Amino acid sequence: MSTQFHIGMLGGGMYGKNVLTRWLQADPRAEVAWMCNRSIETAKQAAGEMGVARYSANYHDILSDPGVQAVVIATPPYLHKEMLLDALSAGKHVFLEKPMAASRADVDAMVAAAEAHPELVVLEASCRHTRFQPKFGFVKAMIDSGKLGEIYHIDHIHLGRTTFVEYNNAGTWGVDKALAGGGPFADWGVYDLSFHLGLLGDLPQLKSARSFMRNGLHDIRRFAPIADVEQHGAAWMEFDTGLTYYYERGAGVHGESACETRIFGTRGGLRLEFPTWFSKEVEYYYEVDGNPRHETLTVDMSAHPEDDAIPVIRHFLDCLEGKARPAMPIQLAAKHMRILFTLMG
């Protein structure tokens, strides 16, 4: 019989309560034993809504409970470093929400702390929409098979008119770079890099980059006195493997562009929308006897769960049981965050 892990939820807001707590409770290996929120009133309310027995406005109450084996850190990014360091010092395994931190200095401190506790699991969440979904495995298998030849360029763009705060119902921290780390580059960039660089075995290392960032395009000052995150940005990156990568993201842009990834290889190329809720089709371009060919391939999504959070929660529990190693270890998440901080300047 599997061990039931007692888990504390640090951050009982929109995602921590309604998604992460929900799917942890759906797995018999987990019991959400504590709910922590910014005030005792909101912690009590969240615990009551989710049927969690204990609650607190002080996360140290959870870390001092010897019956708790692991915690989920689902607070705004600027709080992640302190909570992670304290959790590891208390001997707790950690599921860490994305983006992992709001600054490069915090990233460095968090990696050092995790490496000082190799006996503890630290799983970062940017593998959620990427490493456990069928499109990732489908495209990676094509690349690994050699059908596309050498991958020399990736092109990705996704632009929308609404901002992080509006579509995520986030608090005012979401528009303050010091608290959130950034705008769409921090919010979605971690997923984009997780997917695209993961297709290449996480081997490419950034060699150089040029980028632009613009804010002030969509009025977000009504959300907070400080509203300085980027709303539109693009970058040209070069990696040590010879890969080049054009990357463009925007939320609050005066225009729209569908979420599209193009992958170019010496023998073939692909075009797709990688998130699970978009098209299941992958366009495959190649050549036969000097003649251009094109096929529309369909990824089988029928066995994928209704929510991308389900497989990553299962994976975290597998890691706690010793059956798996983190698909997004903190060192790899840090690599992606350092790239994004380089682009955001």
Q: What is the pTM of this model?
A: 0.96
Mean pLDDT for the chain? Answer: 95
For residue 183 the two structure tokens come to 């705008």
Flag whether pLDDT at 169 surpasses 60: no
pLDDT digits (tens, 9 = 90+) for 84-116: 999 999 999 999 999 999 999 999 999 999 999
CA 217 to chain centre: 25
Q: Quick check: 25 and 50 in contact, CB under 8 A?
A: yes
Distance CA 5, CA 7 (A): 6
Is the pLDDT at 13 greater than 90? The verdict is: no
Mean pLDDT comparison of 14-18, 38-42, 227-231, 239-243, highest-scoring range: 239-243
Mean pLDDT throughout 180-189? 96
What is the DSSP-derived secondary structure letter of residue 17? I
> Which pLDDT does position 14 carry in this prediction?
83
113-161 pLDDT, tens digit each = 999 999 999 999 999 999 999 999 999 999 999 999 999 999 999 999 9
Q: What is the pLDDT of residue 2?
A: 64
Ramachandran class of 67: left when φ > 0, alpha when ψ lies in -120 to 50, beta otherwise: alpha
Buried b (16+ CB within 10 A) or exposed e, 42-78: bbbbbbeebebebbbeebebbbebeebbbbbbbbbbb
pLDDT, tens digit, 9 for 90 and up, residues 193-226: 999 999 999 999 999 999 999 999 988 877 778 8
Which domains are seen in the chain, by residue range? 5-128+309-327 (3.40.50.720), 134-305+335-344 (3.30.360.10)
Q: Residue 4 belongs to what H/E stretch?
A: none
pLDDT category at 168 given cuts 50, 70, 90 is low
